[in-house]
Amino acid sequence: MSTLNKNIGLIGFGVVGQGFYSYLEENKEEKLLPKIVIKNNNKERDEVKAKFITEADEVINDKSVETVVELISDDKEAFDIVTKALKAGKNVVSANKKMIANNLEKLLELENKSKGRFLYEGAVCGSIPIIRTLNDYYSLDTVTQIQGIFNGSTNYILTQIFKDNVSYQESLAKAQKLGFAEADPTSDVSGSDALYKLLILTTHAFGKFISPSKVLKIGIQNITDSDIAFARENNLKIKLIASVKSNNNKLWLSVLPTFITNDSVFYNVDNEFNAVEVVSESIGKQTLIGKGAGSLPTGQVIYSDYKAPENYKYKYDKILSGKRIKYETQEFIWVYSDKITQFEKYIEEVVIINKSEGYAKVSIADLIKIQEELLDEKLSLIALTDEALKQLNKKYEFAYALQYA
């Protein structure tokens, strides 16, 4: 993607857009950005050398513009912009993970017919170059699992709850004030943001396109004081963990608040930081950790996409093999709730700790069925890692023995 003396069209000038612009200024390249498309011309903004306009087509149809950088929040409008830009032969950089997750297969078809290229490293895990890592270093290896903390906003909120003993609402408000969470935090706290990122990585690692509506997704908004107390009592933390695993040509995905033990690589990944663990047959296990929220970390990744070499393009080597992988929802996982008995008809095995409190083995398929009910009824479920399950079984071995006697 040659950038020498080629104009840029920036669409969107929010937190990430301003971060991207700061890197242009730092490298004395702001003159290559003559126009910035914004939604509201009456909003007060810091003075920049570019001209503010409100029509995206003015940038897309400008023959002097080689690269369109799309950084708006509306996914449908973003898809329209990216579609038009690729059809016009422009190079496109985007960070709109919802738009990409919902339309990636269509976008790849558009890119293949276009003279331009489509890069979107900034859509997944902030400053961590996970898409390039999968594209460049794992293309000839077989990935078996990707999991991690994909959302900096929820990780910041959960960190504040555990470290400073503040309420969910207090930590959310602080995250919004610092720019780690949006004014409307729904996508973050519901787990949707992490899910979109997970689906994008699933395509790169396993070659599979999966609809967001078909994946188990439970956020952190229903976490209770008793969940926090239980975690503290058992030396556990709660992290929102996104995970995709493959085994015997089957694929399982989930986004869940999860109890993790103090020997987990994710235990001390705090505040706005993200972490991605990749497991593969040849390389083994590797973890990448970096800032996942904020203007400059994500802006830098956008700038890196813009500066990518002219011949750089995502390879999607796994797509042909991905057509043979079956997406599966029959896998069982263990979940904790202080009202676990309310899920009696879905439970395969259960350990009752006290009255309605306990942890149980439930299928992903059944959890998908009730995930909207959980949200409506404000019920919480916390998943258990294998290590957390072993730790709890040791402590509650009497209840465990009674259950399986």
* Active site positions, annotated: 197
- Can you tell me the distance from the alpha carbon of 348 to that of 356, in angstroms, rounded to the nearest whole number? 16
Tokens of 86: 């690729």
| Distance, CA of 272 to CA of 249 (rounded, Å) | 34
The DSSP call for residue 22 is H
Running DSSP on this structure, what letter comes out for residue 325? Answer: P
Closest CA to 203 of 130, 149, 288, 94: 130
What phi and psi, each to the nearest 5 degrees, are found at residue 227? Answer: -65, -45
Closest CA to 356 of 374, 377, 338, 334: 338
| C-alpha distances out from residue 168 to 89, 155, 165, 348, Å | 46, 12, 9, 32
- Residue 53's φ and ψ, nearest 5 degrees, are -130, 170
Q: Widest CA span of the chain, in angstroms? A: 75
CA-nearest of 89, 82, 86, 160 to 123 is 82
| Distance of alpha carbon 61 from alpha carbon 116, whole angstroms | 14
